[in-house]
Amino acid sequence: MNILITGACGGMGHACVKLLSEKGHNIYALDRKISEKIDGVKYYEVDVTNMDSILNVYDLLKKDDITLDAIIHFAGIYYLDSLVEIEEEMIKKVFDINFFGIYRVNKVFLPLLHKNSKIIITSSELAPLDPLPFTGLYGISKSTVEKYAYSLRMELNLLNIKVAIIRPGAVKTSLLDVSMKSLDDFCNKTKLYKCNATNFKKVVDSVEAKNISAEKVARIALKILKSKRPRYIYNINRNFLLRILSFLPKRFQVFIIKTIIK
């Protein structure tokens, strides 16, 4: 198979590139900064927020008459802040990478996908849940991605192209470290939620303590590629307590969260 992978040098992306290349697939790896190259993999420096950057790679592949069997999306950004303190530019940046980056890559490379090919999009366990305080922006961006992905699945099914979502909980990658740093930064800078942020950090620490390896996510991607009729959602390592909380009536959720982190 010829497979295009975004965020290919990040934790999950790198693990997927490694596994799929070991299985004999041809990998076209895209990332903003190239590091930890794997032999036999073709790497391209691509910023998913820049359409020209994406088009440059498309032109190279088209020139070599390369068609694609799959596109796998791992490019993404995590950012944590309160919705009344966050700067507007940061909101735009999160959506530009997490949502519009996926949209741009799919739109540009669609002509290279043949029938029975697949698009795999990485989401988050937070996407289907009611947003939590301070992680709202990230959760909202991932919820948007899943709405987009479902509509895309409906449309591309008419073209015999399958769309699937991988929805992981905490994964042990550099992104996990970034999320913890983002939380620490928020706790230090917020002017409205000093006590709340500190208590919320304890909750997040306990949730993210149970994490899985990036290789497990890569194996899910391989499973989807092998499937003739892949499911829409592949859940992995979702937090049971977060799911229970989201099932409760809204007023109970608000009360519980306030009780825990006030």
DSSP per position, 222-241: HHHHH-SS--SEEEES--HH
Mean pLDDT over 31-48 rounds to 91
DSSP string, 3-66: EEEESTTSHHHHHHHHHHHHTT-EEEEEESS--S--TT-EEEE--TT-HHHHHHHHHHHHHTT-
Residue 205 has pLDDT above 70, yes or no: no
CB within 8 Å of 24: residues ≥ 6 apart: none
Report CA dihedral (187, 188, 193, 196) to the nearest 10 degrees. Answer: 40
Q: Judge whether 201 and 187 are in contact, CB under 8 Å.
A: yes
Nearest to 217 by CA among 163, 178, 150, 169: 169
- In three-state secondary structure terms, 119 is strand
Q: Which of 22-26, 33-37, 141-145 has the lowest mean pLDDT?
A: 33-37
Q: Is pLDDT of 60 > 60? A: yes
CB 131 within 8 A of CB 140: yes
Average pLDDT for 118-138: 88
The mean pLDDT value of the chain amounts to 88
Give 188's pLDDT tier (boundaries 50, 70, 90).
Answer: confident
User: What is the four-CA torsion angle of 125, 131, 132, 135, rounded to 10 degrees?
Assistant: 70
Between 183 and 147, name the one with better pLDDT: 147
